[in-house]
Amino acid sequence: MSEWIFPTLSEILVASGETLTMPETQTPISVASRQLRSEREWFGAIAALETLLQSTDGGAVFSAPLPVLSNPEDLPSVSSWLFTPNSMFAGFPFQLPSADGNTATCETDKTLALLPGDPLASEPFCLALTREFSVLMVQGENASGDPTFLFSFDPEAVDRAWQNLRLRVVLMNPAQLPAIDRLYKTFQPVEPKYKLVSQFTHALLSYLPDPIAEPEKRRIRDPRPLQTSNSDVLAGADIELLQAIAHEVRTPLTTIRTLTRLLLRRKDLPADAVKRLEIIDRECSEQIDRFNLIFHAVELETSATKVSPLATTSLEEVLEQSIPRWQKQANQRNLTLDVILPQHIPSVMSDPTMLDQALTSLIERSARSLPSGGSIQVEVSLAGHQLKLQLQPQAQEDVQHSHRMPLLKSLGQVLMFQPETGSLSLNLNVTKNIFQALGGKLIVRERPEQGEVFTLFLPLEPSKVASEVRV
């Protein structure tokens, strides 16, 4: 039992005895792995909930510490309320535009302040109320204190959780009490139909993100030899430490980015404030992507799976989204980025999200190796049945001979540390393994006075191999 004045929502669900959880595995798993598993189930459940909400005729969603609806404009009849530990956002209205550009007719979304130290701020939850069903979902702890994902459609459990949340509103947001009481009266907890609960659980499973730390479920093997793997030398403690660091860094950054984007919705912000908030948003996104890549690298180096699920990937779309971001990264270091593209870029077989993050890591590595005034050239071309992407740094001629490559120190078997800047990056063997898992092959050529030249080969989409002959 927590020492807080109110029980946590996890405790309410565990005490209700009506909690539903995903089945446990036979193999014992660590606390870090349990945390990763609960995150996967949480995100899968949010996606499943959005599917159910699309077929409702109205409702309300309460969550903390972040909003859970990815596209609230697609659910104009569902009002969204956020419990936040940051009082500066309390009571702040956010009007969401509808598809036709007008303000949505649903009740304006609002935020509700939490008391300092309230555990609700660190226990992601979502309470959804509709006329057809009501559900409480929590990424919290079980009776043993282990990280877990819990959910319940039981009206009594939902009502107890609601009364718990209402007390917080009474203490910190009394002006909002009439509005949320009206919502609760309109969408009182109801016993759901069995088929609806079954639909939710099936959708949850189908929306689960890629497995993170469940090697016992993985049977895909890559017949090609990988670069030397670190799976036999990475200590269990080091693995959990890297996973924990990645999680602890991403979580607050995600919170900061979400709150920043909420502020950017305001129409009365001065231009200089908007510019600073956009910089915060961009910096948070870059760091989140960096630690996502580190997390993926740790998974790859320690699991039986050595291949990511590959799909037809439009490299043209990946580059369209990435090049403006790479340009900004280069400009911040007084570098230029030159991109040479063919008239037509065929699709390749890869993972678009991870490919973007992996390519961005190469751009960052090159940028940090160059002195001010240098340039990075990115050239894409066809090479037989493969697509060739070459990344080549170039220092200014007058500083080439005096240019010194920055010192990189090894941090364990996965990371490299640059003392001059304090930046972290993946070592080259791990980087090569990531690109191989993404269907490609990375070749690195060292040039003492210029830096590292990266050449990446990606397989063309099978249907295009015979037909793609023009550049």
Residue 5's SS3 state is: coil
If you search the block for the tokens 């009007």, which residue do you land on?
Answer: 95
Intra-chain end-to-end CA distance of the chain, in Å = 65
Rg of the chain, C-alpha, whole Å: 25
Distance CA 264, CA 89 (A): 12
Do 442 and 454 meet the contact criterion of CB atoms below 8 Å apart? Answer: yes
Residue 393's SS3 state is: strand
Distance CA 306, CA 283 (A): 30
The CB-based long-range contact list for 321-325 (8 Å cut-off, 24+ gap) reads: 321/356, 322/356, 322/359, 322/360, 323/378, 325/282, 325/286, 325/360
Distance CA 16, CA 151 (A): 11
Q: What is the 3-state secondary structure (H, E, C) of 78-143?
A: EEEEEEECCHHHCCCCECCECCCCCECCCCCEEEEECCCCCHHHHCCEEEEEECCCEEEEEEEECC
Distance CA 353, CA 246 (A): 18
pLDDT by 10s per residue, the chain, length 471: 455 567 888 888 888 665 555 545 444 556 666 777 788 888 888 888 988 998 888 899 999 888 888 777 778 899 989 888 754 444 444 333 333 333 333 333 578 888 877 888 778 899 999 999 999 999 888 877 788 899 999 899 999 999 999 998 998 888 999 999 999 999 999 888 878 888 888 888 877 765 433 333 332 233 333 344 444 444 454 566 666 676 667 777 877 887 787 788 888 889 999 999 998 988 888 888 888 888 778 777 776 555 666 888 889 999 998 999 899 888 888 999 999 999 899 999 888 888 988 999 999 888 888 888 889 999 999 988 899 999 998 877 665 555 556 667 777 677 777 676 667 778 888 889 889 988 899 999 887 666 789 999 999 987 655 454 444
Sign of the CA dihedral with 101 first, then 102, 104, and 108 last: positive
Residue-range domains of the chain with CATH: 9-209 (no CATH), 221-302 (1.20.58), 311-465 (3.30.565.10)
Residue 212's SS3 state is: coil
Model pTM score: 0.53
In the Cβ-directed half-sphere of 317, how many Cα atoms lie within 13 Å?
9
